[in-house]
Amino acid sequence: MSRYTGLIERYRDRLPVSADTRLISLGEGNTPLIQLQNIPRLIGKEVDIYVKFEGLNPTGSFKDRGMTMAVTKAVEAGSQAIICASTGNTSASAAAYAVRAGIKAFVLIPEGKIALGKLAQTLMYDAKIIQINGNFDKGMALVKEVAELAPVTIVNSINPFRIEGQKTAAFEIVDELGFAPDYHCLPVGNAGNITAYWKGYTEYARYSASHAAVTRNLPIMCGYQAAGAAPFVAGHPIENPETLATAIRIGNPQSWDLAWNVQKESGGWFDKFSDEQILAAQKMLSQFEGVFCEPASATSLAGALHDISIGKIPEGSRIVCTLTGNGIKDPEIAMQQCADAKPVTIDASLDAVKRAILDSL
Ligand SMILES: *Cc1c(COP(=O)(O)O)cnc(C)c1O
């Protein structure tokens, strides 16, 4: 078995690279698909739920799948600098891949609205951080304008190479399960990722057909948003999106038409969930399955559990939920979630420690 060197190498035949392309990679992709064992029992439903834990990518989010492709292609085209607007994870990822490539990264972030871990990472990767007193949507508009005036390549998900890289998550799922799930649930912000998964599933189905393998049904795509930032549920952009799930605090999704197309073609739907429901799902995954994702990521499970409970997703279904980012990204929310479980300090004596153990058993 050869050493794993990243998703472009693995799916080279289905990505826009040539034999001469210099690959900018940190070994992204190949993330675990974990079958939930305790939560289905807890809710008393006969369902197979798998979580695709994208928090285990090199910078801790699925953005790395798109970034390896986008930066590879930017470098191939001779670009010396990349730029993005970000709620945090895109900036961390862009910064890391820019360092790897030896080019510059500029990132626009909304002041005070990015999780601590993401800011720390982006600083460590030595990106040029431009903080604006406006939200993501404002930053995105500025990035599009400035890229017309300065020699910088945009690496937000409006860059088509981002979608190309991200579609490989669907390839991995079908490769591993041997079939496509019945339902695929995702948190939706700019809707690049739901677009990418659908592209991946449909391409895989065509690819299998041409290789005479068994072609299974395509999944129904479920896109879930935070209640305070749910333009797809409202049917129009939202002026002032608000949610604790900062990664999806987006009011004007960049892949608007593409995501509606996914909804129609797959027979899926959009829905929204409160911050309380999202945080409860995040806690549940940590507490009962040992999987710690960031708040936005848990929106996929919050949605799946809701739709299972009302029978919209029927028993017997095989469901994949994408967990887009790592829980360590947002330590402040995690600490708030566990405010009642603050550790108590006791005497450093054998007797006191023994008593502490016996009291908790
Ligand atoms: C970027 C991001 C999302 C949203 O993905 P879109 O492609 O913008 O819909 C969700 N969760 C996390 C953790 C993210 O970083």
- pLDDT tens column, 281-299: 999 999 999 999 999 999 9
Percent of the chain with pLDDT over 90: 93
Rounded Cα distance between 320 and 186, Å, is 9
Calculate the average pLDDT of the chain.
Answer: 96
Which residue of 61, 65, 159 sits with most ligand 1 atoms within 8 Å of its CB, as the best mutation to test the pocket?
A: 61
And the tokens for 92? 């961390």
The pLDDT-based confidence of 217 (bands split at 50, 70, 90) is: confident
Reported as a pLDDT band with limits 50, 70 and 90, residue 303 is very high
Range(s) for CATH 3.40.50.1100 in the chain? 7-60+162-337, 63-158
**The CATH number of domain 63-158, selected from 3.30.450.40, 3.10.150.10, 3.10.310.10, 3.40.50.1100:** 3.40.50.1100
Pocket of ligand 1 contains residue 254 by CB under 6 Å: no
Confidence at residue 344, expressed as pLDDT on a 0 to 100 scale? 84
191 is in an annotated binding site: yes
What predicted TM-score, i.e. pTM, was given to this entire model? 0.96
Six-digit token pair at 122? 């982006």
What is the identity of the amino acid at 215?
Answer: T
With H, G, I as helix, E, B as strand and everything else as coil, classify residue 255.
coil
With a cut of 70, say whether residue 213 has pLDDT above it: no
Residue 329 Cα: closest atom of ligand 1: 13
CB-based contact 91:132 (threshold 8 Å):
no
**pLDDT over 60 (residue 212):** no
Q: How much is the pLDDT for 207?
A: 82
Nearest to 307 by CA among 269, 265, 279: 269
Question: Tokens 């591993």 identify what position?
Answer: 176
Third-level CATH fold of 7-60+162-337: Rossmann fold (3.40.50)
Please tell me the predicted confidence (pLDDT) of residue 348. 97
**Beta-bridge mates of residue 110:** 132
The answer to whether residue 140 scores a pLDDT higher than 90 is: yes
Residue with tokens 């998900």: 157
